[in-house]
Amino acid sequence: MSLLHKYRILFVKDKKDFKRIRLDDVLYIKHGERTLIFMNNEQVIETCYTLRSLEFKLDTRFVRINHSTIVNISRMDYIHKNNVIIDGAKLELSMSGKTNLLKKIHVLG
């Protein structure tokens, strides 16, 4: 069993350092200009990975909501029209992203 699945942590290269990221703390991951940006409450970590390579390594709490963003559904505050709101950040939902997201969350009503 890997560190990723056993301890829910991931080490990512940030410039010359490898930084530990607790997946429970990740709000969302956004593709920037040639970088991935991990957003959590304490820090922003930029690293050189592709969203696609990371997407398949993450557990079921994470879902891609558009071509450049993966969100941690356990950290979502709410969905408003075609946006996901997490900790005040407004993240755009694509049509396919909304379909994928609604399949993973439990909706009442």
- The residues spanned by each domain of the chain are 3-103
Model pTM?
Answer: 0.87
Task: State the number of CA atoms in the 13 A half-sphere of 11 facing the CB.
Answer: 5
Query: Among candidates 62, 66, 91, which has minimal Cα distance to 79?
Result: 91
Q: What is the pLDDT of residue 54?
A: 85
* pLDDT tens figures, 89-101: 999 999 999 999 9
Provide the residue type at 46 as one letter: E
* pLDDT tens figures, 23-35: 899 999 999 877 7
In CATH, the architecture of 3-103 is Beta Barrel (2.40)
* pLDDT tens figures, 33-60: 777 888 887 788 888 888 888 888 888 8
Q: How far is CA 13 from CA 23, 35, 52, 92, 102, in A?
A: 15, 11, 17, 27, 32
